[in-house]
Chains A and B, each alone.
Chain A
Amino acid sequence: MKRLSHDRSPHSDHSAITTIGARQAWSWLDASLSIVLISLFTISASGHAAPSFKLRGYGTVGVTHSSLNEADFVGSPLQSKGAGASQQWSWGVDSKLGLQLNADISERLEAVVQVASQNRIDAGYRPKLEWANLKYRFSPDVSLRIGRIVLPAFMVSEARLVGYANVWVRPPLETYSVMPFTNSDGIDLTLRKQIGGVTSSLQLLRGHLESSVVAETAAGTQVRNGKFRDITGVVYSAEYGPWLGRAAYITADAESEGIERRLKFHNVGIGYDAGDWFVQGELSQLQLPVFTSGIRAVYVSAGVRMGSFTPYMIYSMSRPRDRSPSVLANDQRSVSAGLRWDVAKNMAIKTEINHIKLNAGSGGNGYFINIQPGFAPGNGGNVFSVVLDFAF
């Protein structure tokens, strides 16, 4: 039986554009890197104290198994193969490596470059620039960055690749796969203020990005060129003792295959971290006419920290805003349980089980790809992962 979601009309074909990719805006990147290098050169030539450098890194080695053999489970929409139909056990779903170089050029000026290598359809494991910017601190609480940043769409967007910094094996897919791009080349301003024990932070950003977007088509996962212009973002977060609240609004002009539409993204998140237990949840909504029918996503996660062990659970789901059956993508929910074990200094072993269910009524493939004959709407599966995360 041929898959419903593979017999897409041109309209619904576009509805499957789920994520980003990576062709970089080279002009911008060249510019930011040039600025960084010229600054370093100027500073050293002008006889100031030499800038101090710090090289650090992070990584994940992990293997994933999916019980659903008629489709591939993938760790991000950028992957063209995963666990399930393509491979019983996949190393590509979660494994990655990142390197970061920080240079303190002066007391107020800092440069950062971070590259990350992971399994992605447009790059293989070739390293891609995640961060490349110059940061100027007007004061400890006011800073300006120019260059490439990671788009702060979700609570842990910026650290989504740093497994060691997160409790989970991976951020909940049903939420973190919603945004079709993850970076912005431009400028951003961050203001911080403490009032009565509440630390408020406001981030304003402008930028653009040329990147690959991924579309699920009858021929499989395809890479297309995407342009995101006039990216504007406002992110407010407040921390009060164990409480963390956050709201983000991002808008951009998205263009692919000659079609241009306005993208609007909203996110609110709340977290409570008492130290020995925590709970966190996020609500997100993407509006991107023609390309998608719009997506709403939510997750709630909670865990208990017991010495070096952190057992946790996640409930996560996403569904189209438009519930009409003609548009099928992204209707998926999952219940997950996992355990993080801080096994050594700078090293954690995690294991996680995701029980994933696709909505039978929708006929969609959720966030699974490479749909094979025999896949039926309402299918789901259990995904099992073991990873080793490290940071240095």
Chain B
Amino acid sequence: MCRYVTRQMLAGCLIAFILFCPLRSFGAEVAVVVSSASPVQSLTASQVADLFLGRSSTFPGGVAAVPVDQSEGAEIREVFYLKLLRKTPAQVKSYWMRLVFTGKGEPPATLPNIESIKRTLAANPNVVTYVDRSNVDSSLKVLLLLP
């Protein structure tokens, strides 16, 4: 009986997963960027994930890294985490609440708009963030593209 229920539930989960999966929005191309003055040339997706999940505090090679998020609710932020981690904003929030309430870390600081992002990047070559690819100009260096 129990095994039957279990099997039914698993089948239900699988069907729901297949139905919902294609509906998720995978919008614009996201560029992971630093200031063009940064010595860092590129990052892999897992290196970006380690930085934005607080597992690593340096770029490969040892340069200090300061990840910065776009504001909560911004579409680019949602797309970034969906592409990078396959997680929704709520799931990322839940991850950070675990770290916050166990003294293991603080989520990245946030910046409200593209102007403040460009100002901050220009002033601090350690800052790493992400923007819509269409916002990339000569002041920014792209370390990774999330298509």
B interface footprint on A107-140 (CB within 8 Å = 1, 0 otherwise): 0000010100000000000000001010100001
Contacting pair B86 A275 (CB below 8 A): yes
Main secondary structure of the interface of A (DSSP, over half): strand
Contacting pair B88 A58 (CB below 8 A): no
Segment of B50-58, B115-123, B131-139 in the binding face: B50-58
Closest Cβ–Cβ distance, residue B22 to chain A (whole Å) = 12
| Chain A residues with CB under 8 A of B64 | 140
A308 to B103, CA, bound (A): 26
Is B28 among interface residues, defined by CB-CB distance under 8 A?
no
Is A263 among interface residues, defined by CB-CB distance under 8 A?
no
- Chain A contacts with B in 82-128, Cβ cutoff 8 A: 98, 100, 112, 114
A interface footprint on B68-98 (CB within 8 Å = 1, 0 otherwise): 0000100000000000011110110111011
Contacting pair A159 B90 (CB below 8 A): no
A309 to B80, CA, bound (A): 20
| Chain A residues with CB under 8 A of B58 | 140, 194
A33 to B85, CA, bound (A): 39
| Chain B residues with CB under 8 A of A274 | 86
B interface footprint on A203-220 (CB within 8 Å = 1, 0 otherwise): 000000000000000000
Known: A112-B103, A114-B101, A131-B103. A304 touches B86 (CB 8 A): no
A149 to B93, CA, bound (A): 23
Known: A239-B55, A313-B6, A313-B9. A159 touches B88 (CB 8 A): no
Contacting pair B91 A305 (CB below 8 A): yes
Main secondary structure of the interface of B (DSSP, over half): helix
Contacting pair A199 B86 (CB below 8 A): no
Number of interface residues of B (CB under 8 A): 38
Contacting pair B86 A56 (CB below 8 A): no
| Chain B residues with CB under 8 A of A275 | 85-87, 91
* A-B contacts at CB below 8 angstroms, number: 106
Known: A162-B98, A307-B24. A141 touches B13 (CB 8 A): no
Closest Cβ–Cβ distance, residue B74 to chain A (whole Å) = 13
Known: A145-B103, A165-B94, A275-B86. A355 touches B2 (CB 8 A): yes
Residue of A nearest to B23 (CB): A307
Closest Cβ–Cβ distance, residue A339 to chain B (whole Å) = 10
A positions within 8 Å CB-CB of B: 56, 58, 98, 100, 112, 114, 131, 133, 135, 140-141, 145, 149-150, 156, 158-159, 162, 164-166, 194, 197, 199, 239, 241, 274-277, 304-309, 311, 313, 335, 337, 342, 345-346, 348, 355, 391
Return 19 A-B CB contacts under 8 Å, by A number.
A114-B101, A140-B57, A140-B58, A140-B64, A149-B103, A158-B102, A158-B103, A162-B101, A164-B94, A165-B94, A194-B58, A199-B56, A275-B87, A305-B86, A305-B88, A305-B91, A342-B88, A342-B90, A355-B2
5 closest cross-chain pairs (CB), A and B: A275-B86, A165-B98, A342-B90, A158-B102, A140-B57
